[in-house]
């Protein structure tokens, strides 16, 4: 009998083509919005995670300054002490690279007026391993033509930010002088590269604290030792674990042992970062889902309205069917199938359109922000959407059908 009802529902849908299409359109507009917005949210979340993984690497963790929260000690300590050589010997650690920062008295070359420029400037000490082992991390330090970054065994070299180079009147091949601490000697460093001024801020800034500021002088990590002795001014450290090791385990162990040795660090793994980012992106997703929900509600009211009038129009037909022996349950089944079917068709069209819209939006967003935005097709979203669309249609049609079925046959027949 269900098949007969489906045939009845189907012929009614096909013979009221315009009305059916209007209903379907009402459904699919809402569904398109829902699927598109939620997919875009999921895609952004995936993209941010992918980007973090790319820069950071899933086998890598980071040593950030420990945040003293409720210990009474100030948490102004943005720098920490570190024995990098010891860190490299820890079980499970494959490579480690660190960044130190100081402010130093620097002397450049004579300017056009014949006077030598000098002043206090920020100096960053970079492990050469940053270049060799963590290229994505350092990626944004693009040099002007003719320059290069320092290699593993170099010490008396420097790379300058564009502004510093200009102010100190230094070009590649010339020298600068940096004063060390108290008893340490001053060092004369050869400038081997100048950072190209970039319009865009660094993508890496959020993990490293390195952004290619025009004010900074970059020197090899070892050179910092010569000027200021053992590191107690580390900003950040990147640690890559040996293949196959559990990153979280190694990170936890390194944190404990380093703290025991007096380094106030906190180990941050990829999963820590991605879950932190996750809370942000899921807020965005929830916001998008909220908008989607509102548009679905509006669409749903529209569908109910179309269904309601269309069922009302057919009150007489319901009367005829009852006059020839239809039971209330038969009437309800026919309309349930009919309106549910329209909901389902609207759901399918809306899902396809929504996925189309979301991949289009991903492409546009990707172009604007110059990243590859992931297109996420979530099976559970699709299943939930189709079920929801069927239910929406069914409920929207069922209520007026139930009312019509309850009418006395004669009254339904008299309806024009």
Partner 1 sequence: MKSAMPLLDLRGITKVYPLGKTAVHALRGVDLTIERGEIVAVMGPSGSGKSTLMHILGALDTPTGGVALLDGQPLHELSEHQLATLRGRKVGFVFQTFNLIPTLSAQRNVELPMVFLGAPKRNRAARARDLLIKVGLADRVHHRPNELSGGERQRVAIARALANDPEIILADEPTGNLDSETGATILTLLQSLSTADGKTVVLVTHDPDAACIADRIVRMRDGRVIEEMAHGS
The residue ranges that bind partner 1 (CB under 8 A) are 1, 3-4, 8, 11-12, 15-16, 316-317, 319-328, 330, 408-410, 413
The β-bridge partners of 222 are: none
Cβ closest to partner 1, residue 45 vs residue 338: 338
**For residue 107, what are the β-bridge partners?**
118, 177
Closest CB to partner 1 among residues 14, 260: 14
| Two structure tokens written together for 79 | 């720098």
184-193 in b/e burial notation, b at 16+ Cβ within 10 A?
eeebebebbb
10 vs 151, beta carbon nearer partner 1 = 10
- Residue 395 token pair: 């409920």
Minimum distance, C-beta of residue 345 to partner 1, in the bound complex (Å): 18
Cα 139 → chain centroid: 19
Nearer of residues 260 and 324 to partner 1, judged by Cβ = 324
Least separation, in Å, of the C-beta of 43 and partner 1? 44
Residue owning tokens 């209520």: 399
Q: Which is nearer to partner 1, 307 or 376 (CB)?
A: 307
- Helix 315-323 to helix 270-313 angle, to the nearest 10 degrees? 70
Residue with tokens 């025991």: 260
Task: Report d(CA 212, CA 142) in Å as an integer.
Answer: 8
Q: How far is the CB of 411 from partner 1 (least distance, A)?
A: 9
Minimum distance between the CB of residue 412 and partner 1, rounded to whole angstroms? Answer: 10
Min CB(377)–partner 1 separation in Å:
38
State in angstroms the smallest separation of the CB of 340 from partner 1: 18
Smallest gap from residue 294 Cβ to partner 1 (A): 36
Token duo for residue 62 = 């980071």
**The two structure tokens encoding residue 245:** 């090791």
Q: How far apart (Å, rounded) are the C-alpha atoms in residues 136 and 202? A: 11
Helix axes 379-406, 17-56, angle to 10 degrees: 160
Q: Which is nearer to partner 1, 284 or 326 (CB)?
A: 326
For 257, half-sphere exposure in the C-beta direction (CA atoms, 13 angstrom radius) is: 14
Beta carbon nearer to partner 1, 3 or 115: 3
Strand pairing report for 116-126 and 157-160 = unpaired
* CA 232 – CA 225 distance, rounded (Å): 10
Looking at beta carbons only, is 100 or 314 nearer to partner 1?
Answer: 314
Residue count (the chain): 416
What is the smallest separation between the CB atom of 320 and partner 1, expressed in angstroms? 5
């Amino acid at each position: 009998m269900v098949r007969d009802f489906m045939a009845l529902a189907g012929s009614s849908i096909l013979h009221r083509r315009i009305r059916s299409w209007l209903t379907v359109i009402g459904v699919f507009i809402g569904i398109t919005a829902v699927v598109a917005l939620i997919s875009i949210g999921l895609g952004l979340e995936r993209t941010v995670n992918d980007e973090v993984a790319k820069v950071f690497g899933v086998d890598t963790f980071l040593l950030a300054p420990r945040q003293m929260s409720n210990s009474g000690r100030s948490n102004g300590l943005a720098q920490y002490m570190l024995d990098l050589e010891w860190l490299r010997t820890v079980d499970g650690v494959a490579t480690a690279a660190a960044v130190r920062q100081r402010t130093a008295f620097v002397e450049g070359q004579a300017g056009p007026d014949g006077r030598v420029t000098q002043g206090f400037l920020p100096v960053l000490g970079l492990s050469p391993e940053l270049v060799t082992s963590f290229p994505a991390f350092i990626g944004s330090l693009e040099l002007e033509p003719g320059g290069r970054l320092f290699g593993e065994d170099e010490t008396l070299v420097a790379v300058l930010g564009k502004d510093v180079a200009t102010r100190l009147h230094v070009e590649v091949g010339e020298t600068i002088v940096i004063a060390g601490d108290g008893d340490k000697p001053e060092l004369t460093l050869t400038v081997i590269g100048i950072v190209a001024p970039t319009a865009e801020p660094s993508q890496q800034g959020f993990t490293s604290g390195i952004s290619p500021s025009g004010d900074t002088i970059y020197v090899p990590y070892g050179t910092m030792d010569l000027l200021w002795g053992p590191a107690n001014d580390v900003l950040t450290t990147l640690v890559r674990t040996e293949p196959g090791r559990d990153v979280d385990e190694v990170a936890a162990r390194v944190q404990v042992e380093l703290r025991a040795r007096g380094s106030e660090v906190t180990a941050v793994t990829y999963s820590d970062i991605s879950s932190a980012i996750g809370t942000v992106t899921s807020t965005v997703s929830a916001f998008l889902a909220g908008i989607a929900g509102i548009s679905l509600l509006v669409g749903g009211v529209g569908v109910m309205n179309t269904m309601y009038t269309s069922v009302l129009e057919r009150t007489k037909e319901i009367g005829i069917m009852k006059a020839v022996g239809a039971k209330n349950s038969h009437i309800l089944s026919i309309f349930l199938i009919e309106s549910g079917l329209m909901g389902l068709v609207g759901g399918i069209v809306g899902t396809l359109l929504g996925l189309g819209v979301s991949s289009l939006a991903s492409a546009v967003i990707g172009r604007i922000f110059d990243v590859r935005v992931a297109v996420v097709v979530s099976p559970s979203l699709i299943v939930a959407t189709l079920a929801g669309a069927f239910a929406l249609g069914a409920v929207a049609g069922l209520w007026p059908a139930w009312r019509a079925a309850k009418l006395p046959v004669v009254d339904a027949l008299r309806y024009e």
